[in-house]
Copies of this chain bind each other. A is one copy, B any other.
């Protein structure tokens, strides 16, 4: 399904209403010496990749409630992302997961993506599940396995993912290594780490010069005692061992309770080692729920570091942004629209922070003022700025409402039926 662009324009009343809100805000911000047009340009330019596995319903170990009209093929997944991009103009990239999304016809897939205005961002390997007919199981690990056979199979898989990515025009691969142990004693930590280091180096050798390797970390799950790459420190250490094209990837849900994530982001940018960033939100663990639905202020503080780093740390690459959420209760497309909205809103707020004033207040240890400066930006209702960016891009002012008004889900069900199941979790 591809939405007819004519259906995406807002009506004149909506636009008049928006203009009034925007003008009022822009006038206020201009008095604070904020360059509103360039801020809107930044918002318009910000694009987040959608992973190909996020278009269907997710589940928990206790079960999964299926969603109607799920995409049954890679082409349908791309179409869903195309819908998102049409509605928001901020989802202009796709992040493929191998082996769930191996193209059968590369040319056709690339043409479809081009038509939908989608880039292929980082490709993702998968060694946390066994493929049918695989010689070696990953039950006890892949890149870290004590069995050389399992390690070599996992290395070969990663190399294959890079090749697939190259054919599609991707420029990076993300390795989320689920490897770990569920019981004390199961792993020799040093062996597991050493094997992982060697395996990653081997994979790294296959990277073309203009490619990047993103190493993700996570403290627990699917294993319940240890994870080989448990924290940013381990990822950073491994990336340094691999070389200049290896970076750490931060996923918001992959931290222990109370972690100060914004400081980790800042440290990695300071060191030029932040490569990728996965958005989601959570209250307890890696809950993978809608961005900004639980801790929007923490997200703002993280964005504040990202904005600062993008302006001050040219040693980092352009970041690969992705939404890594799961959709157990909501329509996946609605959920993703809400996540995209939350990302844009939070980015806009972070762009409002008066960095010069903040630096001065920090220098003078004026803690109350430091707080005021952040709060001033955070409390501002920036939705008119986000809408202005959409208007510039010919996207509807209210994507979720438009999605509902157009009956997109009903249309998808009509096309695909109620029993399709998207590959994924």
Contact = CB atoms under 8 A, between A and B. Distances in A.
Copies of the protein in its oligomer:
4
A289 B224 contact: yes
Interface in A288-328: 289-290, 292-298, 301, 305, 308-309, 312-313, 326, 328
Nearest to A363: B146
Residue picked from A65, A236, A329, A400, most chain B C-beta under 10 Å = A329
A233 B232 contact: yes
A178 interface: yes
Contacts of A262: 184, 189
A419 interface: no
17 contacts: A61-B326, A61-B425, A62-B178, A62-B222, A183-B371, A184-B371, A186-B362, A193-B266, A193-B267, A230-B260, A233-B234, A257-B257, A257-B258, A296-B297, A335-B368, A338-B368, A380-B381
A137 B365 CA distance: 12
A1 interface: no
A269 interface: yes
Contacts of A184: 262, 293-294, 297, 301, 370-371, 374
Contacts of A292: 375
Nearest to A296: B297
Contacts of A146: 362-363, 365
A101 interface: no
A400 B379 contact: no
Contact of A381 (B183, B266, B379): B379
Given A63-B129, A237-B236, A367 B295 contact: no
Given A185-B370, A186-B329, 20 more contacts: A62-B128, A62-B222, A63-B130, A184-B293, A184-B301, A185-B358, A189-B270, A190-B266, A190-B313, A191-B362, A219-B260, A222-B328, A225-B260, A225-B283, A230-B263, A257-B258, A260-B283, A295-B298, A296-B297, A381-B381
Contacts of A375: 292
A259 interface: yes
